[in-house]
Every structure is written in structure tokens, then in C-alpha cells.
Structure 1
């Protein structure tokens, strides 16, 4: 699937505001509302748009601690990576999880209500996962940039 200029305008607009109505979106991109809706559905079916969601400020709902946690696995546990991934998925405190190449094996973004809650998470959940050898936590002091938008150049060709 090649994204044309209209597809890219739709994606740029919806990334800025996922609540944009189909009527307004059709005016922005210059095609009829039914044609716009069909394009959005096609982008969803192709997996280009994975989902729509509300972005919540964690501090406003009581999560004052945010940490980046680097995880190193023991060499003997490399065969059980799938099971370890499943454990990370099950942990409510883990809001992002990336398997990486380099000095560590995983990077987690973790939220907690306070430092004591983070301690309980570390001691009662994370350290209980078999195969984890190294845990290094870094606490986020300030969110300088948290980009969730991928600007699509209307003149550049993208294939998906």
C-alpha cells in the first residue's frame, strides 16, 4: 500500500487530534465525507492506524514516579525470552517495554504512585521474574519531549 497525499494529510491530522470529526477531516483533505471515512477504515485495516486512544497525564491521576528500567538477562535465560516478555506484559506498572540490542536486553518505562510503591514493584514483582540478572533504574525528573506524532511529508512517498 502506497500512501498518497490525502492519506498523509489524514494521518497528520488524526495524529494531532484523534477526535477530529469525519466531516471536519473531509474538509481538511478536500474530499467527500464518505470517501474520507473509507480511507480512514482502509488505513486501519492495513494497520497504519493501530488504534485511537486518550493520552493521560500520569501525575494528574496520582502516578508521581516514572522510571526507565534497564534489564539484563542471564545467558541461561535467553531461551526463555518469550516467557519473560509475557511477564513484562502482565505487569500493570510497565507502560512501555522494548526488547533491545546492546548492553541490556530490555528497557521498561514504569509508573508508580510513589517511591514506596516503586520499591514494592521492584521487590515483589520484577525481581521475582526468573532469568533477570541486572536491573538498573533511572528516575525521570522532567519530560522534556514525548513525541507521539510522526509528521508525514506530503511530497515524500511512503510504502506500507
Structure 2
């Protein structure tokens, strides 16, 4: 097991990157109170350690809606008939590659999975439900909730600024 160590400067870089990853290294270094070479070296290390999974552009759905349509967001609860590890893995393996499935969570207690799906319209949701849920004999119950309005969306992880402010070094076991 590899031990990963991050410190206050790493936490500052991670927080800045998850707020806006499009900043130049020069701007990032200035905001993190580091030299540009140190900033670049640390960011490369954080990527190599797998702490930065990927960098993406977050699109504004309400601004895009006039151009591509609003779409339909559904939060879907799935309960399986049998919940053995093999059945849970099989369901997950089937739904995760589907482009309409934006997020997939195994949850407990209650349903086995919560999915966040985005489709063009109700007929597209029906096609997705038939493709992913109805065709699986192990799916016992499907309960969908359709979003009327998204009041908040924030993909940032809370990094615990208070630990960084105390100068605490964190160790993660991989």
C-alpha cells in the first residue's frame, strides 16, 4: 500500500483547480502563493497520484437550452431482486457505460442504486428505462423523480480548509 502525503500547499492547489482549472500555471502559482515551477511540479505530482482525476468544462444547461433543447433530468431509484456482489456489479457494469447515465451511486439503506440520468425528452427516458431496467430480470423496482429546476450544482469536494489553515499534513493510504 502506497502512502500519499499532501500538505497545505497541495490543498490550496486542489481547491483552486477544482474552482477553475483553466487558469495558467502562472496565475495558479500566484493565487496559491507558490513559485510557478513549484506549482507546476506539485500539480504534476497530484495528477500522477490520481488525486486529480480529470479536468472538464462545466456547461451551463439553461444557456445551452435554446440551442440544444432543455432535456429531461431524472433521479432514478433502482432496487434489485437479488443484492449479491455479482448482481450489484452486473447492474453497475450495464448502466455506467450508457451516455445518458451521468452519475451512478450504490446506496444503503433503501434502494440499491440512485442514478442521475439526462435524456432529451420523455420518449427518450422510456427507451432508456426499457434498455437498462425492463430488460433486466433482476430489477425489482424503479422509481423516477423528474427535475423541475436545478437550484444548485457544485462538483467541488470540500477539502477541509481548516486543516490546511492549521498546517496539517494529511496522509492517505492507497
Partner in structure 2 of residue 149 of structure 1: 156
Query: Gapped runs of 5+ residues in structure 2?
Result: none
User: TM-score scaled to structure 2, two decimals?
Assistant: 0.83
Partner in structure 1 of residue 43 of structure 2: 40
Q: Deviations over 1:16-71 (max 9, x none)?
A: 10101101111122222121111001111112111111112345243520000000
| 2:84 is aligned with 1:74 | no
| 2:119 is aligned with 1:125 | no
- 8 Å CA contact 2:94–2:132 kept in 1: the answer is no
- Count of paired positions: 160
SS of equivalent to 1:141: coil
| 2:71 is aligned with 1:64 | yes
Query: Gapped runs of 5+ residues in structure 1?
Result: none
Q: Per the alignment, do residues 57 and 126 of structure 1 end up closer, same or farther by CA in structure 2, a change over 3 Å counting?
A: farther
- 8 Å CA contact 2:10–2:42 kept in 1: the answer is yes
- Partner Cα separation in structure 1 for residue 84 and residue 171 of structure 2: 37
User: TM-score scaled to structure 1, two decimals?
Assistant: 0.89
- 8 Å CA contact 1:69–1:107 kept in 2: the answer is yes
Q: CA deviation at 1:125?
A: 3.4
Partner in structure 2 of residue 89 of structure 1: 96
- Partner Cα separation in structure 1 for residue 146 and residue 25 of structure 2: 40
Partner in structure 2 of residue 2 of structure 1: 5
- Partner Cα separation in structure 2 for residue 138 and residue 46 of structure 1: 37
- 8 Å CA contact 1:66–1:140 kept in 2: the answer is yes
Partner in structure 1 of residue 55 of structure 2: 52
Q: Deviations over 1:95-141 (max 9, x none)?
A: 10011111110000011101111112112433112311110000111
SS of equivalent to 1:109: strand
